[in-house]
Amino acid sequence: GQLEEVSMPLFFGWFLCPAFQDKLRSMAKDFLKTLQGLEAFKEHLSDFTGEAEKEVDLEQYFQDKGMLHCTTKFCDYGKADGSKEYAEQQIVKDRYGSMSELKLSTLVLTPRTLGARVSLTEDQLRLWPAGVEKEGAPEADLPPGSRAHITLGCAEGVEPVQTGLDLLELVLLQQQGQEGERAQDLDLGSLAYYGKGVWVLSLHEPGLAPACFCSYYG
């Protein structure tokens, strides 16, 4: 009925508990501070500034996009394909409002976005919509969940949807056997450079973030 249409959210996803949002934000801050001090990063600075000599303040470069979450289905209030089918699945109704832990394995930084890759469990994958990997990387055949991430920040003028697209590009490179150029071991994890301003920090200890599966209306 009419009410159902009105009730379609902007998106469904896992929303991090406030305490863990703070923790993740401060981890990202540490990472940015460390990264911009590294010689290896300075060598590739033109990826970010367009000029080799210019300095960059990464903490200002990446703008906060609000409440930290991992989007499952972007519905756009019902306008996005497959929204209704997604919302009507029994598993979505069953899990709605439930808590689980998101496993954060990697931080991915590009000249456009800063994000945390999320490794979904089998159970969490049941809430993952079909086709979102194909949508973002039509030429590739990537496993479901490859796009799962938390957007931590975007460069000026960049929409958060870009974080998942940047991640898919990286996963594709990795699928093709690229490991990046090992840059340095940091306290948080090991850092690799994949070219074109793409830096990947593989965390020594994956973070476990308690999160609630629900939806956002905006």
Give the active site residues.
69, 149
* Tokens (6 digits) for 32: 């940015």
* Tokens (6 digits) for 55: 């300095």
Phi, psi for residue 105 in degrees, rounded to 5: -105, -30
Name which of residues 66 to 85 contact ligand 2AM (CB under 6 A).
Answer: 71, 74
Rule CB under 6 A: is residue 10 a binding residue for ligand 2AM?
yes
**Buried residues in 72-81 as b, exposed as e (16+ CB within 10 A):** bbbbeeeebe
**Minimum distance, C-beta of residue 79 to ligand 2AM, in the bound complex (Å):** 10
**Minimum distance, C-beta of residue 181 to ligand 2AM, in the bound complex (Å):** 26
Rule CB under 6 A: is residue 164 a binding residue for ligand 2AM?
yes
Rule CB under 6 A: is residue 130 a binding residue for ligand 2AM?
no
**Minimum distance, C-beta of residue 150 to ligand 2AM, in the bound complex (Å):** 7
Q: Is the dihedral of CA 169, 104, 123, 128 positive or negative?
A: negative
**Minimum distance, C-beta of residue 135 to ligand 2AM, in the bound complex (Å):** 7
Whole-number Å distance between alpha carbons of 69 and 102: 10
Whole-number Å distance between alpha carbons of 144 and 110: 22
Name which of residues 107 to 126 contact ligand 2AM (CB under 6 A).
Answer: none
Whole-number Å distance between alpha carbons of 213 and 95: 7
Name which of residues 132 to 161 contact ligand 2AM (CB under 6 A).
Answer: 151, 160-161
Q: Which is nearer to ligand 2AM, 111 or 186 (CB)?
A: 111
63: three-class secondary structure by DSSP: strand
List residues binding ligand 2AM (CB under 6 A).
Answer: 10-11, 71, 74, 151, 160-161, 163-164
